[in-house]
């Protein structure tokens, strides 16, 4: 008899939900309910993660950062699917869309919770493959095909690097566990080389400079619903793996430091130079990956901060791309006047999220950045703290103009909006603006 | 309780103004007047304070506490807002600006009363954002000026944050209590060299608001491109946040650093005073003259603070309040010219006194105040500042005095060119003299100027309560001592 470890319940529930979701497409009337089935599956994942919180299973466990991220991933996936339930893109094959999204969620849960490199590799593939299809979803623009192609090529390269990294680590350690029984994971030369390859592969997925070349094209070309899911679930899970890796790699912080500085500088400068709103968001995601690495470079305190950074980054991404769902596909500027008139709450959420991305107090984005700064100064990496300061100061120079730039005037523009979007926008504004009031519940006990 | 209300009332009004449009103009004025009334119990010596919103590891974020200096600055800002509203009255953009001005006022009140550094920082950033928004949406609607202002202030204030974090961590490591409140941060006992470095960081963040000499690049755009009412509040009120930050946060938290930086600070501020005066001298645009002379005066304030000497401190604080009144007067003059469609360039003016005698007389009063005539607002502050700093670094105080002399030339010449002499033929045939509303603004500001100029004893008495606290913190390190 097969004994299933309690820690595996959440991924199994999501896997079953994903398989079932594909069958909703047998009839269009049934298909309408597919996104709600996805919401249910995601919420059950959150519940199961919280239930097995701090359980250490065989090769798969929910430590404190993994359970925070796992619970977040389920909730984010539920929020996205609920928001997308009536979206025009889901008119065709909603069951398949939901199934693919749940597969991404499954991969993400494996990524944040796995204690074995093989588990991480499977999670990575489960996450990457559905995005090929989601980016090229039928009904989206031609540019998105190009985006999907680019993503496929680069993700395949990343997977290859990851596999090579695993091989090298096995060569060095003779073990595939994140915590090998004989010393740290980066104890031998071959293992260190492999570890760098792992970082490079994950860096591709997270768009860390110098592996950021794909991100602006994808952000500009891919359909908004897929991007919403990519940032809110996919990237946060990658951040979760990086937190686990940084936790086991001992005191070797140099790679994190280098990637952080490169990403902050390159991401901010490119975002500042570009004229296009979506490309700006893509490059600014690079700089946020840099701030995240700046937290990882600060040792043990940094790991706690990095966990919160990952969650808040996901929330901010939800806050920016949720309102963008209203706009027609391929629109590269924000028609503020129309958005304010037709969906005032969504316009408010977009503005608050942009301020939060810039780190304007008192939004959540400010508090996590403050946390990163405290961690860096505590670890006495002064140079990194100064780079972070300068980078986020520069980021004001492109986030705020996007708030007041008036686009080419269009006489009339019908924007997509729904009651769920209104609810989502109100909740998002409260969370990003006043979410710091919840801190006592995380630190107090 | 009152202190929270002082912050929340303007914000509530701003929210109401953005939701409901009807009868909003009257409401904005009523709110501004209520704010003035709220300041009175504080000045009557009723201490008010509260601490709420406790966040672990950060302390109580909403920790507001009244103090003599904060009360006085709050009253100054509260009085400036009705003036700004009156200047802007009947203007097409009135409601829009009243909203931003209210947000700005609430945030400024917060910076004065906040006793938790993080709270102070949050209010300080909101001030920066509201001010940038004001520049963006008023007057010339110059995006470049707004962005320049924003980049200067945000970059600098991030350095302010960066400089306080080591103090926070050092205090937390030694006491085990991680908290951003003033009491927990002060007395860190860091070594002198580190304090100097951190003081430079804090100074960058706070000095940029004054603006201190090398950080003044934003001033011209902000003061010249925005609407006069906006410029009035920017140069009169938001600079007070910088002054208050230096006096309440930077110097007490890092006394050794302040003392080590003092000579360099005096030199920078003296150069700034002289440089600002020369910039004012080099332009024929009345509005630029006003902008640069404001920079020059605020550098004199910084000089008084860096001198770390009791008379100089009193002088600097009086001068910063007088400067608020002066900014009110001078920008009202500009606004009146603008409202009549007149250019503020001398080439288009000249002999205006013949057409607008009442306006000419009041303008003379404020120009005389700006050049430091005894009896008017600026004189006691300038005198005490220079007197105090002469005892510390006489040569550089002399250079600052030279700046004041240049200022005198600037304003006399500006008045002569614009108001006296031959009537400029290009002026329109009929120009209305002061209206009732404008007369009232001038009367109020004139009275305030006379009060600061003649009754500075009462202000000094207020500061006497403040200074001993600070000089004890400076470990008897103030120049001249007691």
Beta-strand relationship, B59-65 and B49-55: antiparallel
**For B165, nearest residue in chain A (alpha carbons):** A374
Question: Rounded to 5 degrees, what angle do the CA atoms B164, B168, B174 make?
Answer: 145
Which pLDDT tens digit goes with each residue over A262-317? Answer: 999 999 999 999 988 999 999 999 999 999 999 999 888 899 899 999 999 999 99
Top residue of A345, A373, A404, A440 to mutate, by most chain B CBs within 10 Å, is A404
The beta-carbon neighbor of B150 closest among A366, A389, A396 is: A396
* Band (B470; pLDDT cuts 50, 70, 90): low
User: Is residue B120 less than 8 Å (CB to CB) from chain A?
Assistant: no
- Percent of chain A surpassing pLDDT 70: 97
Which pLDDT tens digit goes with each residue over B130-144? Answer: 999 888 888 788 888
Contact A404 B143 (CB under 8 A): yes
Contact B151 A393 (CB under 8 A): yes
- The mean pLDDT of A316-322, rounded to a whole number, is 94
- Percent of chain A surpassing pLDDT 90: 53
User: Is residue A378 less than 8 Å (CB to CB) from chain B?
Assistant: yes
Which pLDDT tens digit goes with each residue over A328-343? Answer: 877 888 888 888 888 8
**For A361, nearest residue in chain B (alpha carbons):** B122
User: Is residue B126 less than 8 Å (CB to CB) from chain A?
Assistant: yes
Residue-level pLDDT at A6: 74
Residue whose entry in the numeric block shows the structure tokens 């600014």: A284
Contact B151 A401 (CB under 8 A): no
- Lowest mean per-residue pLDDT among A99-113, A382-396, B267-281, B443-457: B443-457
User: Is residue A360 less than 8 Å (CB to CB) from chain B?
Assistant: yes
Residue-level pLDDT at B423: 81
Contact A397 B57 (CB under 8 A): no
Q: Is the pLDDT of residue B472 over 60?
A: no
**For B123, nearest residue in chain A (alpha carbons):** A361
* Band (B190; pLDDT cuts 50, 70, 90): confident
Shortest distance between the Cα of A443 and any Cα of chain B, in A, equals 7
User: Is residue A443 less than 8 Å (CB to CB) from chain B?
Assistant: yes
- The mean pLDDT of B430-436, rounded to a whole number, is 82
Top residue of B162, B164, B218 to mutate, by most chain A CBs within 10 Å, is B162
Shortest distance between the Cα of A244 and any Cα of chain B, in A, equals 25
Contact B125 A437 (CB under 8 A): no
Contact B151 A396 (CB under 8 A): yes
Residue-level pLDDT at B126: 93
Tokens representing A84 are 């997308």
Say how far apart CA B383 and CA A13 lie, in whole Å. 78
User: Is residue A438 less than 8 Å (CB to CB) from chain B?
Assistant: no
More confident residue, B186 or B477: B186
Q: What's the pTM?
A: 0.92
Cα torsion angle, B128, B134, B139, B144, sign:
positive
On average, the pLDDT of chain B sits at 86
The 3-state secondary structure of A121-181, one letter per residue: HHHHHHHHHHHHHHHCCCCCCHHHHHHHHHHHHHHHHHHHHHHHHHHHHHHHHCCCECCCC
The beta-carbon neighbor of B57 closest among A366, A390, A443 is: A443
Closest to B281 (Cα-Cα) out of B269, B292, B297, B294: B292
Residue-level pLDDT at B475: 43
User: Is residue A396 less than 8 Å (CB to CB) from chain B?
Assistant: yes
**For B149, nearest residue in chain A (alpha carbons):** A397
Contact A362 B122 (CB under 8 A): yes
The beta-carbon neighbor of B147 closest among A392, A401, A443 is: A401
User: Is residue A403 less than 8 Å (CB to CB) from chain B?
Assistant: no
Shortest distance between the Cα of A444 and any Cα of chain B, in A, equals 6
Q: Is the pLDDT of residue A445 over 50?
A: no
User: Is residue A401 less than 8 Å (CB to CB) from chain B?
Assistant: yes
Question: Rounded to 5 degrees, what angle do the CA atoms B151, B155, B158 make?
Answer: 145
Count of other CB atoms within 10 angstroms of residue A145:
15
Closest to B89 (Cα-Cα) out of B453, B438, B367, B451: B438
Q: Is the pLDDT of residue B480 over 50?
A: no
Residue numbers in A near B55 (CB within 8 A): 436-437, 439-440
Contact B129 A360 (CB under 8 A): yes
Q: Is the pLDDT of residue A4 over 50?
A: yes
**How many beta-carbon pairs below 8 A join chains A and B?**
60
**In DSSP terms, which residues pair with B444 in a beta bridge?**
none
Residue-level pLDDT at B267: 93
Q: What is the gyration radius of the CA atoms in chain B, in angstroms?
A: 21
Residue-level pLDDT at A295: 93
* Band (B476; pLDDT cuts 50, 70, 90): very low
Is the preceding peptide bond at A362 cis, omega within 30 degrees of 0? yes
Which pLDDT tens digit goes with each residue over A22-77? Answer: 999 888 888 889 999 999 999 999 999 888 877 776 667 778 888 889 999 999 99
Contact A377 B121 (CB under 8 A): no
Residue-level pLDDT at A409: 67
Residue-level pLDDT at B23: 65
Q: Is the pLDDT of residue B299 over 90?
A: yes
More confident residue, A187 or B290: B290
Q: Is the pLDDT of residue B24 over 70?
A: yes
User: Is residue B52 less than 8 Å (CB to CB) from chain A?
Assistant: no
Count of other CB atoms within 10 angstroms of residue B34:
15
Burial class (CB in 10 A: 0-12, 13-18, 19+), A324: buried
- The mean pLDDT of B174-184, rounded to a whole number, is 86
Contact A393 B150 (CB under 8 A): no
- Lowest mean per-residue pLDDT among A50-64, A208-222, A423-437, B227-241: A50-64
Top residue of B126, B154, B204 to mutate, by most chain A CBs within 10 Å, is B154
Closest to A315 (Cα-Cα) out of A72, A49, A112: A72
* Band (B198; pLDDT cuts 50, 70, 90): very high
Residue numbers in B near A368 (CB within 8 A): none
Contact B155 A390 (CB under 8 A): yes
Which pLDDT tens digit goes with each residue over A96-141? Answer: 999 999 999 999 999 998 888 999 999 999 999 999 899 888 877 7
Residue numbers in A near B136 (CB within 8 A): 404
The beta-carbon neighbor of B169 closest among A361, A377, A439 is: A377
> Maximum CA pair distance of chain B?
75
The beta-carbon neighbor of B159 closest among A389, A401, A437 is: A389
Closest to B415 (Cα-Cα) out of B330, B324, B316, B318: B330
* Band (A227; pLDDT cuts 50, 70, 90): very high
* Band (B469; pLDDT cuts 50, 70, 90): low
Residues 162-221 in B contacting A (C-alpha not used; CB under 8 Å): 162, 165-166, 168-169
Contact A444 B56 (CB under 8 A): yes
User: Is residue A301 less than 8 Å (CB to CB) from chain B?
Assistant: no
Q: b/e per residue, A38-68, with b = 16+ CB within 10 A?
A: bbebbbbbbebbeebbebebebbbbbebbbb
Residue numbers in A near B58 (CB within 8 A): 439
Count of other CB atoms within 10 angstroms of residue A78:
22
Q: Is the pLDDT of residue A441 over 80?
A: no
Are A151 and A221 a contacting pair, CB within 8 Å? no
Closest to A342 (Cα-Cα) out of A414, A283, A286: A414
């Amino acid at each position: 008899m097969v004994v299933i470890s309690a820690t595996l319940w959440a991924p199994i529930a999501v896997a079953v939900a994903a398989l079932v979701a594909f069958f909703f497409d047998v009839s269009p009337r049934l298909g309408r309910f597919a996104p709600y089935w996805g919401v249910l599956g995601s919420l059950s994942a959150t519940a199961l993660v919280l239930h097995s919180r701090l359980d250490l299973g065989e090769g798969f466990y929910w430590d404190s950062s993994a359970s925070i991220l796992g619970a977040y991933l389920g909730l984010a996936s539920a929020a996205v699917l609920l928001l997308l339930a009536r979206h025009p893109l889901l008119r065709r094959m909603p069951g398949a869309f939901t199934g693919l999204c749940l597969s991404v969620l499954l991969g993400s849960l494996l990524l944040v919770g796995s204690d074995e490199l093989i588990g991480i590799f499977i999670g990575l593939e489960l996450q990457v493959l559905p995005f090929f299809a989601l980016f090229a979803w039928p009904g989206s623009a031609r540019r998105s095909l190009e985006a999907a192609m680019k993503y496929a090529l680069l993700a395949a390269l990343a997977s290859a690097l990851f596999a090579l990294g695993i091989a090298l680590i096995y060569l060095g350690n003779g073990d595939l566990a994140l915590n090998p029984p004989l010393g740290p994971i980066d104890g031998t030369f071959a293992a260190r080389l492999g570890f760098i390859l792992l970082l490079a592969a994950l860096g591709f997925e997270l768009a860390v400079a110098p592996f950021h070349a794909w991100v602006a094209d994808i952000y500009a070309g891919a359909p908004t619903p897929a991007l919403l899911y990519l940032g809110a679930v996919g990237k946060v899970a990658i951040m979760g793996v990086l937190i686990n890796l940084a936790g086991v790699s001992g005191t070797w912080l140099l790679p994190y430091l280098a990637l952080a500085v490169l990403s902050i500088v390159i991401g901010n400068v490119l975002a500042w130079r570009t004229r296009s709103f979506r490309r700006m968001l893509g490059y600014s995601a690079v700089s946020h990956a840099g701030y995240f690495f700046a937290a990882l470079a600060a040792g043990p305190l940094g790991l706690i901060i990095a966990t919160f950074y990952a969650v808040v980054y996901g929330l901010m991404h939800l806050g920016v791309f949720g309102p963008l769902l209203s706009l027609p596909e391929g629109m590269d500027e924000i028609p503020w006047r129309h958005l304010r008139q037709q969906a005032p709450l969504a316009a408010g959420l977009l503005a608050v999220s942009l301020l939060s991305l810039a780190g304007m107090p008192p939004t959540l984005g400010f508090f996590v950045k403050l946390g990163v700064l405290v961690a860096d100064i505590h670890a006495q990496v002064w140079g990194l703290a100064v780079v972070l300061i300068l980078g986020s100061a520069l980021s004001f120079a492109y986030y705020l103009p996007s708030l007041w730039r008036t686009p080419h005037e269009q006489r009339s523009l019908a924007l997509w909006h729904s009651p769920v979007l209104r609810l989502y926008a109100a909740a998002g504004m409260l969370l990003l603006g006043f979410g710091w009031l919840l801190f006592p519940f995380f630190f107090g006990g | 309780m009152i202190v929270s209300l002082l912050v929340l009332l303007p914000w509530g009004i701003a929210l109401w103004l953005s939701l409901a449009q009807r009868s909003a103009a009257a409401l904005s004025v009523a709110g501004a007047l209520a704010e003035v009334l709220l300041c009175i119990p504080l000045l009557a010596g009723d201490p008010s304070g509260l601490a709420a919103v406790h966040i672990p590891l950060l302390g109580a974020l909403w920790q507001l506490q009244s103090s003599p200096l904060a009360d006085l600055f709050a009253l100054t800002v509260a009085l400036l807002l009705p003036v700004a509203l009156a200047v802007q009255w009947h203007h097409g953009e009135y409601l829009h600006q009243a909203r931003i001005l209210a947000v700005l006022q609430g945030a400024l009140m917060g910076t004065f009363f906040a006793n938790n550094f993080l709270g102070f920082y949050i209010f300080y950033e909101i001030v920066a954002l509201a001010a940038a928004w004001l520049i963006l949406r008023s007057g010339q609607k110059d995006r470049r000026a707004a962005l320049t202002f924003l980049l200067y202030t945000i970059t600098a204030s991030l350095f302010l944050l960066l400089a306080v974090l080591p103090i926070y961590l050092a205090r937390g490591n030694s006491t085990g209590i991680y908290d951003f409140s003033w009491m927990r941060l002060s007395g860190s006992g860091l070594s002198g060299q580190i304090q100097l470095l951190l003081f430079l960081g804090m100074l960058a963040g706070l000095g940029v608001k004054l603006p201190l000499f090398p950080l003044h690049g934003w001033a011209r755009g902000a003061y010249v491109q925005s609407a006069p009412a906006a410029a009035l509040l920017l140069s009169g009120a938001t600079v007070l946040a910088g002054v208050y930050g230096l006096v309440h946060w930077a110097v007490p938290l890092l006394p050794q650093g302040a003392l080590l930086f003092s000579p360099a600070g005096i030199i920078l501020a003296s150069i700034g005073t002289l440089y600002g005066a020369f910039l004012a001298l080099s332009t024929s645009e009345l509005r630029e003259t006003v902008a640069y002379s404001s920079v020059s005066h605020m550098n004199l304030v910084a000089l008084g603070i860096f001198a770390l000497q009791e008379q100089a401190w009193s002088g600097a604080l009086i001068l910063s309040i007088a400067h608020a009144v002066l900014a009110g007067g001078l920008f009202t003059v500009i606004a009146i010219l603008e409202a009549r469609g007149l250019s503020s360039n001398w080439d288009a003016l000249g002999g205006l006194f013949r057409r607008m005698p009442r306006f000419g007389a009041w303008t003379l009063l404020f120009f005389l105040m700006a050049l430091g005539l005894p009896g008017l607002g600026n004189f006691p502050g300038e005198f005490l500042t220079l007197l105090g700093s002469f005892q510390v670094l006489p040569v550089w105080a002399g250079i600052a005095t030279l700046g004041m002399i240049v200022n005198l030339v600037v304003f006399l010449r500006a008045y002569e060119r614009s108001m006296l002499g031959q009537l400029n033929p290009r002026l329109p045939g009929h120009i209305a003299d002061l209206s009732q509303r404008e007369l009232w603004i001038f009367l109020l500001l004139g009275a305030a100027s006379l009060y600061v100029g003649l009754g500075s004893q009462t202000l000094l008495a207020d500061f006497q309560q403040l200074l001993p606290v600070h000089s004890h913190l400076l470990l008897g390190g103030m120049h001249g001592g007691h």
